[in-house]
Structure 1
Amino acid sequence: MHDESDGAAAEADATVQRERAVQVAIVDDHESVRLGIRAACREAGYEVVAACPSVSELWVALAGRSCDVIVLDLSLGDDFTVTENVQHARSMGAAVLVHSIADRVGLVREALAAGAAGVIPKSAATSTVMAAIAAVARGDVLNNLEWASAIDADREFGKAQLAQRERDVLHLYASGLPLSQVALKLNIKVSTAKEYLDRIRAKYVEVGRPARSKVELLRRAVEDGILALDEHGHVE
């Protein structure tokens, strides 16, 4: 016999989970920036779990705890590269939102290649930064002009050389279709569609831009102009 109290407790737990505040960590070597983002996050209803001048210090501060988003400056003045800092931050189980000066194109490119979820310039309005945090916490691809301009301006940003059928598969799959529907639309076998997807992933690994998950494939498709997002971050 089902215990109604158990059902009510489960529903209450689910509600708490849905309403859990976004957990944010901040890494910037300027105290004033850390304080400003912390205050804005709290006003937005986010929980700031740590604010540190380096990724290494964040690791110690979190002490094994996870968070949803790490807001990361690219120029920390430490002894680590941008790639190392982004990858170390991601290893903590969080999405990485780059918050830096937009004209540092090389560093932006390196951060995106290392797996950062997106870029937001330090000149952006606080409300824009808070919206970006919410977007990457949901797992959305952050679509902004700084991202696009950084890629367009940097000729060293390695685009995967995809064949037309590979681009077709990536376009449909990254748009949200399951592999079976991709195969149906292209009139190919599901196994063939999977082979194309494996090739696509391999090509992105070759240019230093791995795409292991569907969200990362969407990100690569946007970066390379295979897909476009509207102002709300939805596939056009």
Structure 2
Amino acid sequence: MTRVALIDDHESVRLGLEAACLRTGDQEVVFSGSTVVEYLQWRAGISAQPADVVVLDLTLGDGTTVTGNVGRLVNDGSSVIIHSVADRPAAVREALAAGAAGVVSKASPIDDVTAAVRTVARGELLNNVEWASAVEGDREFADAQLSARERDVLRLYAAGLPLKVVADRLGVAYSTAKENITRIRVKYVEVGRPAPTKVDLLRRAMEDGILSESGGDPGGPRGAR
């Protein structure tokens, strides 16, 4: 059973999502409220475990920022899905950069939201139209200036291959592949998109089109650019 928290300052939206989650049979809404502060206070008050997935409105009416809200929830141990009209690409990019696992438009069928919850609960990232439209054309967000070799290393490593296997596939020493991963992480830090874990590297690879939603082709290096 996936534990879900709903944070939206429109009660009607929360009620609809709660009913949809209940209908799935594998999602339990453990909290429904209008602010992140309320949610964290609820957690602290009853010593509850963090929700597995928080469905969060992009803009709340309490004056908080999307970076602050997403950051607090991620640091608290939850995965975050932005549920928004998605008409503010800059704010959506901000949410993704802060660690949100993806975006689902409020114009989408409600079953798309519960499907997104299921995807994120499995530890996977969303790679949908809303995500693509938020990233597309924003080179400051999307471009860490990785070399062709670094992109190949990242593509294979983020697809799930152990680093030793990545080195073997590319015909380089293990130490070389390891140095490439270190440089990749440094480059992402330099553009404000840190990737300290393998999951973070997967997120960056998907954001930058290095790895597709289906995992890409881990069979070997791509041609020179």
Do the two structures share a fold, i.e. TM-score over 0.5? yes
- Superposed CA deviations along residues 41-98 of structure 1, whole A, max 9, x for unmatched, are 1111211110110111110112242111000101102232111110001122110001
Give the equivalent residue in structure 2 for 1:29. 9
- Of 135, 159, 167, which aligns to 2:151? 167
Aligned counterparts of 2:92 and 2:123: Cα–Cα separation in 1: 20
- Contact in 2 for aligned 1:105/1:154 (Cα 8 Å): no
Other-structure match for 2:24: 44
Moved over 4 A (4+): none
The farther-off stretch of 138-147 and 204-213 is 204-213
Q: What amino acid is aligned across from residue 33 of structure 2 in structure 1?
A: C
The 5 Å alignment of 1:163-202 reads 163-202=147-186
RMSD between superposed Cα atoms in Å: 1.4
Match of 1:51, SS state, is strand
Say yes or no: does 1:89 pair with 2:73.
yes
Match of 2:58 among 71, 74, 81: 74
Which is worse superposed, 192-201 or 145-154?
A: 145-154
Query: What is the SS of the residue equivalent to 1:225?
Result: coil
Equivalent in the alignment of 1:139: 123
Which runs of 5 or more structure 1 residues have no equivalent in the other structure?
1-20
Give TM-score scaled by structure 2 length. Answer: 0.90
Aligned-pair identity in percent equals 57
Q: Residue 8 of structure 2 aligns to which amino acid in structure 1?
A: D
State how far apart, in whole Å, the 2-side matches of 1:185 and 1:119 are.
Answer: 34
1:91-136 residue CA offsets vs partner (Å, 9 max, x unmatched): 2211000100121101100000001000000011011111000000
- Where does residue 13 of structure 1 map in the other structure? none
Q: Does 1:119 align with 2:103?
A: yes
Q: Provide the C-alpha distance between the structure 1 equivalents of 2:216 and 2:79, rounded to a whole number of angstroms.
A: 20
User: For 1:77, what is the secondary structure of its paired residue?
Assistant: coil
Match of 2:191 in 1: 207
5+ residue gaps, structure 2, are: 218-225
Equivalents in 1 of 2:138, 2:187: separation in Å? Answer: 19
What is the DSSP-based 3-state SS (H/G/I as helix, E as strand, rest coil) of the residue aligned with 1:120?
A: strand
TM-score for the superposition, normalised by structure 1: 0.86
